[in-house]
């Protein structure tokens, strides 16, 4: 993990939300919200809320009696999320998931969608989730499976290797898809003090109006952008076109339909 892996600033939040949100994150956000359908009262904390995709799903699914608090390390992501419609009930706060600014036993549930891979110290993040959970509370989160099970991201990753063969950008393999071994995650959770742990491997369909969406989303709306620009300061559009061509070659031009796979963990405090 590098410092740049967690940088989501400038135009990145809007591009991330528009081009990657519906493609990759909305389907799994709906799944997480469904898993909390039994929550009728109490409080839910979301860490690494990003542009508010899970936040919207939770706000729509959970009754008004449930208090919702959403945090992210990046203020730019919080600002983008807080401006979305339907989220007036949510308390947004900038916070580091490995050093949460909340008292012990404050929440009934902690939720995190595709955030733990970016924690500089995952075990510290898990310990913080456990600390702020009430006894018997749930820590619910997901992580991407490997690139081998996520062909859209794999095609974009390979296209970057073709464009920069001497020094391929490795963000996708290293960060979002670099923490995919479920036994490693289980071990880290146990080291953080969780013992009641379950995992589901969930394969879903993903789709976008255009084969260009993942190219724009990954190359311009994720920290992959910084790696591209570090190798060629003026090469962002070239990289985007290379990724789009690779996606079209693999899946066809026009609307995109593919599959994606992730692990969904539940750990009880």
- The answer to whether the predicted template modeling score (pTM) of the entire model surpasses 0.85 is yes
3-state per-residue secondary structure call for the chain: CCHHHHCCCCCHHHHHHHHHHHHHHHHHHHHHHHHCCCCCCEEEEECCCCCCHHHHHHHHHCCCCEEEEEEECCHHHHHHHHCCCCCCCEEEEECCCCCCCCCCCCEEEEEEECCHHHCCCHHHHHHHHHHHEEEEEEEEEEEECCHHHCHHHHHHHHHHHHHCCCCCCCHHHHCCCCCCCHHHHHHHHHHCCCCEEEEEEEEEEEEECCCHHHHHHHHHCCCHHHHHHHHCCCCHHHHHHHHHHHHHHHHCCCCEEEEEEEEEEEEEC
Check residue 11 and give its pLDDT. 86
pLDDT tens digit sequence for 88-111: 999 999 999 999 999 999 999 999
User: Domain 3-268 classified CATH 3.40.50.300?
Assistant: no
Domain map (residue ranges) of the chain: 3-268
pLDDT digits (tens, 9 = 90+) for 196-230: 999 999 999 999 999 999 999 999 999 999 999 99
Q: Provide the pLDDT for residue 267.
A: 98
């Amino acid at each position: 993990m590098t410092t740049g892996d967690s940088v989501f600033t400038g135009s990145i939040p809007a591009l991330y939300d528009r081009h990657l949100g519906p493609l990759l994150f909305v389907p799994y956000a709906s799944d997480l919200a469904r898993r909390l359908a039994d929550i009728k009262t109490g409080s839910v904390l979301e860490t690494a809320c990003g542009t508010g995709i899970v936040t919207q799903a939770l706000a729509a699914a959970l009754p008004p009696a449930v208090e919702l608090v959403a945090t992210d390390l990046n203020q730019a992501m919080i600002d983008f999320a807080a401006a979305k419609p339907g989220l007036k009930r949510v308390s947004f706060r900038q916070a580091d998931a490995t050093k949460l600014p909340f008292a012990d036993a404050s929440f009934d549930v902690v939720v995190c969608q595709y955030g733990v891979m970016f924690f500089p110290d995952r075990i510290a993040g898990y310990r913080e989730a456990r600390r702020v959970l009430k006894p018997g509370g749930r820590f619910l989160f997901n992580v991407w499976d490997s690139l081998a099970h996520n062909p859209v991201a794999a095609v974009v990753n390979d296209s970057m290797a073709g464009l920069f063969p001497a020094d391929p950008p490795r963000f996708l393999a290293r960060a979002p898809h670099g923490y995919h071994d479920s036994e490693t995650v289980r071990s880290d959770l146990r080291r953080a003090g969780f013992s009641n742990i379950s995992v589901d491997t969930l394969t879903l369909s993903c789709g976008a109006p255009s084969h260009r969406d993942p190219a724009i989303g990954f190359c311009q709306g994720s920290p992959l952008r910084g790696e591209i620009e570090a190798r060629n300061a003026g090469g962002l559009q070239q990289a985007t076109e290379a990724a789009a061509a690779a996606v079209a070659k693999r899946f066809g031009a026009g609307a995109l339909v593919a599959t994606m796979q992730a692990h969904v963990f539940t750990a009880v405090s």
